[in-house]
Chains A and B, each alone.
Chain A
Amino acid sequence: MVKVKVEFLGGLDVIFNKERVHKVEVPQEDPVTLKDLLDYIIDNMIANKNDVPVFIENDTVRPGIITLINDTDWELEGELEYELQDGDIISFTSTLHGG
């Protein structure tokens, strides 16, 4: 089991009851990967299943959403294979396009 903070930014909070910050306990034996966290979010946190495609596409985070592990691009941290540590902050932010 691992305890992390999960943030939905850039408007993504609309599919999470408009709550930007969530304390999450993934009830699973270590190691818990980011992929496991995504599964947990899909199963337990997205209130309306119609909204899943807003967040997930082809079993990963949808294009246009930036994923950050402790304020660092997940590309630098192993992406889906990253093993969560207690206290990690995982942030998902939509890219904005308006100007």
Chain B
Amino acid sequence: MSDQELLAQIRALKLENEALKVRLSNTPLPPSPNPLSLEEYNRYGRQMIVDMPSPIESGLPAQLKLKSAKILIIGAGGLGSPALLYLAGAGVGTIGIVDNDIVDTSNLHRQIIHDSHRVNMLKCESAKLSIQNLNPNVNVVTYPTRLTHSNAFEIFEGYDLILDCTDTPLTRYLISDVAVKLGITVVSGSGVGTEAQLTILNFMNMGPCYRCFFPVPPPPTSVASCSEGGVIGPCIGVMGVMMAVEAIKFIVGAYTVENFEPYLVLYSGFPGTSSGQSMRTFKMRRRQKNCACCSNEPSITKESIESGSINYELFCGSRNYNVCQADERISVHEFDSAFSPRDTERAVKENLIMLDVRPNHHYNISHLPDTVNIPLKVLKNMNGSMELLQEVIPTVNTESEVIVLCRYGNDSQLATRLLKDEFKIGNVKDVKGGFFKYIDELDTTIPKY
């Protein structure tokens, strides 16, 4: 066939296609005799044939409940990733996703709803794409915004259930408070390292809320994040999966006002030196009569939350790292030009000590040459004893020049204070932004974790 003949044929087919499309759109589809499409029966068949003890719904009624359910997932991270995928797979009709963060390579070992091609994409949009690939029947609503006291009510309204997959005490209090005021049940998960926890809050507006369990927030210094404390992907993932189980149970009526008992699950993937894995379920307190949020006379109200008079930042507090004066800090460029980390000779001659205060297992991943590693915690425990410090750095004395480095430039400030105030070393400088800033701006060949 010649090119011209081919083009003519394509034009003819296009016309025919258009005509067929018009005819199809004019013919109304016959009303389906079934409440689900045939594709949906096929897709959900394996879960629909699981027999449940009464009064838990199973089969078609359960599937229809899932289809009409609206579930809001806050945080599309280590917990949210598996929870979102399983809930989408199970056929939850509407899934809302709140997350204003973007996908980073360091998320991918655990945040499995995202992938390497989606780095720098908004997590909620990346999650939406994965869900649409998995199950196009799901209606996904994305909220690429940080959850705050002023937008939470608007976002939560209309959802049947909330999954708290966030990572700070502040958002956990906020989510619980707003859910209590709106009467929405919260499935709450968390985890760090090799351990994870799960509980149900404000169940049917009669179960305990986050404030019943934790009327006083933990001191900010005791709160570890995944980026700080590290996390084994499947250890947090297992809890995201369990959150999806609890969400399905809630929707199909496995929990009732009569049978609900407050609980907290603790999962330990690596339970110390003992073998195996450990999954414990603890019996927890009921709703507290004096709770600031869910009692009969709460001090926390919708108005006080929305107006901002409940100050979550102040309530939860924050760590104060800004303990050094401007002249006690140097930039990574000043550090590099004045104290080149590779100028060993000068270092010895001038009694210059470059101290890296990261935890030992961080230091072992990567570090600058000619640095000494004393973790901040170890330094603290020396209680200002120069003798103990000299056991690690024999050349150090109060006349030494010490440059302090950590991962991001926070702990190094605390260490600078200790060295000056407790060890009485006069000339101590903190490197602003730390080792990672040095890598970013001066030597990108050094591994960053």
Contact = CB atoms under 8 A, between A and B. Distances in A.
Nearest to B223: A97
Contacts, number: 111
Interface stretch (B76-84, B139-147, B294-302, B306-314): B76-84
A44 interface: no
Contacts of B260: none
A99 interface: yes
B283 A11 contact: no
Interface string B65-100: 000000000010111100000000000000000000
Contact of A99 (B80, B215, B274, B381): B80
Interface residues of A, number: 32
A99 B77 contact: yes
A19 B217 CA distance: 26
Contacts of A10: 195, 197, 266
Contact of A64 (B77, B80, B164, B218): B218
A46 interface: no
Contacts of B217: 63-64
B272 interface: yes
Interface in A28-87: 48, 50, 53-54, 57, 62-66, 68, 71-73, 75-76
Contact of A98 (B190, B274, B283, B381): B190
B282 A68 contact: yes
Contact of B281 (A18, A19, A50, A71): A71
Interface in B203-253: 213-219, 222-226, 229, 231, 236
Nearest to B230: A98
Interface string A83-96: 00000000101111
6 contacts: A63-B218, A71-B280, A72-B283, A96-B190, A97-B223, A99-B79
Q: Which 5 A-B pairs have the closest CB atoms?
A: A64-B218, A98-B192, A63-B216, A20-B272, A99-B167
Interface of B: 75, 77-80, 164-169, 172, 189-193, 195-197, 213-219, 222-226, 229, 231, 236, 264, 266, 268, 271-274, 280-285, 380-381, 383
